[in-house]
Amino acid sequence: MPQKIRLPQQNSVILIGRLTRDPDLKYTQKGTAVCKFDIAINHSYKDTTGEWKDEASYVPVTVWSESAVRCSERIKKGSPVHIAGRLRSRSWEDKNQQKHTTLEVVAQRVQFLEITTEAEGHVQEAPVSQTGPDKLDSPADKSGAEEPSVDEEIPF
């Protein structure tokens, strides 16, 4: 009988982009915070004529627990962020029995790349290597727990 080989986790993604809308914070029926937002990621390339073209990709991001609350408090539309997480595919049926599928990033870390001094209203760009309170670890990183199961109703 062939032996099963267990590969290391290969589902990981790292993205840097800007929020396309303000974060949407809600709570599950069990009281777990969940924050959703989209980020825009820009890419420049030369086309066949040698002319530079820009394209943007829009990626939905989901953040859970304390990190979700912190994201809703600290970032807004236009904020630059560094996201580390994993891809998750979800499928559902709408009210008209039409099937939909989406691919999203479940954030395990969110790093804010901009610091706002509220008292003065100033905004400063922060280095990508910044650590401390702007580096948010998901509950999975701290306790080994995962985000709530798909069975738990997500409010959006």
pTM of the model: 0.70
With b for 16 or more beta-carbon neighbours within 10 A and e for fewer, the 23-51 pattern comes to bebeeeeeebbbbbbbbeeeeeeeeeeee
- Integer Cα distance of 147 and 87 in angstroms: 13
DSSP secondary structure letter of residue 147: S
- Integer Cα distance of 42 and 74 in angstroms: 23
DSSP notation for 40-102: EEEEEEE-TTS-EEEEEEEEEEEEEHHHHHHHHHH--TT-EEEEEEEEEEEEEE-TTS-EEEE
* pLDDT > 90 in the chain, percent: 66
Average pLDDT for runs of 10 along the chain of length 156: 73 96 97 97 93 95 96 95 96 94 96 70 46 38 46 52
> What domains does the chain contain, in order, with CATH numbers?
13-143 (2.40.50.140)
Q: Which residues pair with 122 in a beta bridge?
A: 117
Q: Which amino acid is it at 126?
A: A
Q: pLDDT digit string (tens) for 129-148? A: 333 333 444 333 433 344 55
